[in-house]
């Protein structure tokens, strides 16, 4: 599979989002998904300390034994793991990293990301602590998540000379949630960050498996979160589906291909609970839209 750069890292253009592990997938089911990802050539794995109540990292730590060198492993910190385990205070940055390293059973994290801004801690202090992790060889690259363009610029300006800086930002972006095009994506382009979109399939809505007027099937993401798809979203799905079919493509291929046609998107993080989902997502990674097609898609979403 094609790779793109996230700092010094070579990330596959389709990544595996690991937020289902420990929540919707037990360890055996997680192993099946991980095996399928590696078989399909997907080697960029993105998890976080909060996923599955830390079980996502624990499962990956055990499952990747003996093949850790085959993956680019990303994790995140900063959201509430426990009342005394949250935020971006420098002391906690070190504690969170050690905890994740232990759960992942590895001696280094390839991409360590601040999961969300911490308004109580100056970003320069957090960056200094993350730089220490890089200098100690515990982390290769650092990134951020859920950062606006302004927050990205503030972080870039707060980096000490010669110190590690954010190389990526991971924000929500999909054909159904495009607001970050005008903010975080634009900021990443200006600051020079690799952009990693999460929820690219809008909780599965952009796979075409949900139907207007039908309740989500038990076990699906929408059913588990008790969410509904609006008529406006179904109208967009219909229009995007027609656009894709006119070009001999599927809605899923459009959802992933459109993202990969935007600069500076590096890897599209897709979740999976079954091996066949991995195969389908990986196969959808080859379409790159022309400038005219990107403009036509933008017109649909207006």
CATH number for the domain that contains residue 267? 3.20.20.100
What's the whole-number mean pLDDT along residues 163-186?
Answer: 97
234 domain-assigned = no
Q: pLDDT tens digits, residue range 83-130?
A: 999 999 999 999 999 999 999 999 999 999 999 999 999 999 999 999
210 domain-assigned = no
pLDDT value at 263 more than 90: yes
Q: What is the reported pLDDT for 229?
A: 86
Q: What is the reported pLDDT for 212?
A: 76
What's the whole-number mean pLDDT along residues 190-216?
Answer: 89
Q: pLDDT tens digits, residue range 8-51?
A: 999 999 999 999 999 999 999 999 999 999 999 999 999 999 99
* Residues 225, 199 contacting (CB under 8 angstroms): no
Q: What is the reported pLDDT for 238?
A: 95
**What percent of the chain is predicted at pLDDT more than 90?**
91
DSSP 42: -
How many C-beta neighbours within 10 Å does residue 274 have? 14
Helices (H) and strands (E) in the chain, counts: 11, 10
Q: Catalytic residue positions? A: 51
Give CA–CA dist 110/218, Å, rounded.
36
Mean pLDDT of the residues in the chain: 94
300 domain-assigned = no
Where does the pLDDT of residue 208 fall: very low under 50, low under 70, confident under 90, or very high at 90 and above?
A: confident
* Omega prior to 42 cis, within 30 of 0: no
Q: What is the reported pLDDT for 226?
A: 47
Q: What is the reported pLDDT for 220?
A: 56
Give Cβ neighbours of residue 53 (< 8 Å, ≥ 6 apart): 22, 23
Distances (CA, A) of 229 to 50, 99, 220: 26, 38, 13
Q: pLDDT tens digits, residue range 89-99?
A: 999 999 999 99
Q: What is the reported pLDDT for 218?
A: 58
Q: What is the reported pLDDT for 86?
A: 96
Domains of the chain: total: 1
Give the start-end residues of each E strand in 152-215: 166-172, 194-198
221 domain-assigned = no
Give CA–CA dist 228/7, Å, rounded.
38
Q: What is the reported pLDDT for 223?
A: 47
241 domain-assigned = no
Q: What is the reported pLDDT for 281?
A: 94
Q: What is the reported pLDDT for 69?
A: 96
* Domain of residue 104, residue span: 3-205+252-289
pLDDT value at 302 more than 80: no
């Amino acid at each position: 599979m094609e790779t793109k750069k996230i700092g010094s890292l070579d990330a596959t253009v389709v990544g595996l989002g690991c937020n289902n592990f420990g929540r919707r997938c037990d360890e055996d089911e997680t192993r099946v998904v991980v095996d399928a990802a590696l078989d399909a050539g997907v080697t960029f794995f993105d998890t976080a300390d909060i996923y599955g109540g830390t079980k996502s990292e624990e499962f990956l730590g055990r499952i990747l034994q003996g093949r850790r060198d085959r993956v680019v492993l990303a994790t995140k910190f900063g959201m509430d793991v426990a009342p005394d385990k949250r935020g971006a205070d420098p002391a906690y940055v070190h504690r969170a990293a050690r905890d994740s390293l232990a759960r992942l059973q590895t001696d280094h994290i390839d991409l360590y990301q601040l999961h969300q801004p911490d308004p109580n801690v100056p970003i320069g202090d957090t960056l200094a602590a993350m730089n220490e992790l890089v200098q100690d060889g515990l982390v290769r690259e650092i990134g951020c998540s859920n950062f606006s363009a302004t927050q990205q610029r503030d972080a870039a300006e707060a980096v000490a000379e010669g110190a590690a800086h954010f190389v990526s930002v991971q924000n929500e972006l999909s054909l159904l949630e495009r607001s970050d095009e005008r903010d975080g994506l634009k900021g990443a382009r200006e600051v020079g960050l690799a952009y990693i979109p999460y929820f690219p399939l809008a909780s599965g809505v952009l796979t075409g498996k949900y139907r207007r007027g039908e309740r989500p099937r038990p076990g699906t993401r929408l059913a588990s979160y008790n969410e509904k798809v609006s008529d406006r979203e179904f109208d967009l799905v219909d229009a995007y589906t027609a656009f894709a079919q006119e070009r001999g493509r599927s809605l899923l291929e459009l959802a992933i291909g459109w993202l990969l046609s935007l600069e500076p998107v590096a890897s599209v993080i897709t979740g999976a609970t079954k091996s066949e989902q991995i195969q389908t997502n990986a196969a959808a990674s080859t379409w790159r839209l022309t400038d005219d097609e990107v403009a036509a898609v933008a017109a649909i979403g207006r």
